[in-house]
């Protein structure tokens, strides 16, 4: 069985949900669909493998402190493709 990434909920109110995600090398979130638009900010240098619903794989490398945003409806599995632990904070925008 693949190791799962560890989510730690930091805020969950009527406006936002903030979750810190910690990944050991090879750990993954599991396939999921985002119900809200979101912003991710990396706490560590990170190399991710993103696998979409069709099975297509994309490798993304992000520096510590780097960020990106995505709309709601994104469907994927996020995997730590690096050799070191990685972490990021995800902010979901509810309204």
> 56 lies in a domain?
yes
> 21 lies in a domain?
yes
pTM beyond 0.85: the answer is yes
CB-based contacts of 26: which residues, under 8 Å, 6+ apart? 2, 3, 79, 80
CATH number of the domain bearing residue 59: 2.60.120.10
Q: What is the pLDDT of residues 48-60, one digit of tens each?
A: 999 999 999 999 9
Instruction: Provide the residue range defining the domain that includes 66.
Output: 6-89
DSSP annotation string for 28-40? B--SEE-SS-EEE
> 94 lies in a domain?
no
Alpha-carbon gap, residue 24 to 79, rounded angstroms: 9
Residue with tokens 């903030």: 18
Confidence of residue 2 (pLDDT cuts 50, 70, 90): confident
| Strand (E) or helix (H) holding 56 | none
Write down the pLDDT at residue 23.
98
Instruction: Give me the number of domains the chain comprises.
Output: 1
Question: Average pLDDT for residues 12-32, to the nearest whole number?
Answer: 98
> 78 lies in a domain?
yes
């Amino acid at each position: 069985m693949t190791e799962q990434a560890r989510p730690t909920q930091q805020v969950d109110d009527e406006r936002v949900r903030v979750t810190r995600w910690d990944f050991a090398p090879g750990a993954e979130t599991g396939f999921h669909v985002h119900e809200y638009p979101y912003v991710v900010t990396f706490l560590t240098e990170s190399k991710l493998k993103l696998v979409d619903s069709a099975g297509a794989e994309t490798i993304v490398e992000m520096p510590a402190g780097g960020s990106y945003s995505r709309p709601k409806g994104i469907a994927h599995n996020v995997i730590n493709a690096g050799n070191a632990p990685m972490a990021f904070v995800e902010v979901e925008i509810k309204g």
